[in-house]
Structures are given as C-alpha cells and as structure tokens.
Amino acid sequence: MIETSFINIGDVIASVFIFGIILIIVAVLYKLIKKTFKQLDKESIEKLTLEQENSILQSQIGELNERLIALEEKVKELD
C-alpha cells in the first residue's frame, strides 16, 4: 500500500487565520491587563502618599493641641 498525504491549502489558510485571530485577542487582552495593573499601581501609590501626608498632619495637629492645652493651663494659672 502506498500512502499519500495531501495538504489542503484551504485548511492551512484557515488554520493560519484562526491562529492570527487568537494571537491578536491574546495581545489585546495582555495590553488591557497591563494597563489596568499600571492604573491600579498608580492609584495605590497616590493613596499611600495621601495616607503618609495625613499621618504627618495628624501628628502636627496632636503637637499643636498639646501646646494649646499647655497655654490654656498657663493662662488659668495667671488668672
């Protein structure tokens, strides 16, 4: 028996076309996911910066409050 194999050009073209579409879909999904992670990273950095500034401001408010209490006590002593 002699075996012959034929390559159907239509099948090859269809396979290449489908493979190309799959590659395009994967590339688009990759870019969307990458963009989303960049945005989330940027937002988390901004949030961390705001929390650090808030912490600094809270400590300054605490210090000012302590000074105010000390001044009020001195004023009461003078009266």
- Alpha-carbon distance of 65 to 72, in angstroms, equals 10
Q: Chain-centre distance of CA 12, in angstroms?
A: 41
- How far separated are the first and last CA of the chain, in Å rounded? 121
For residue 49, how far is the Cα from the chain centroid?
A: 14
From CA 26, how far away is CA 33, in angstroms rounded?
A: 10
Asked if the model's pLDDT at residue 27 lies above 80, the reply is yes
- pLDDT, tens digit, for every residue of 45-76? 999 999 999 999 999 999 999 999 999 999 98
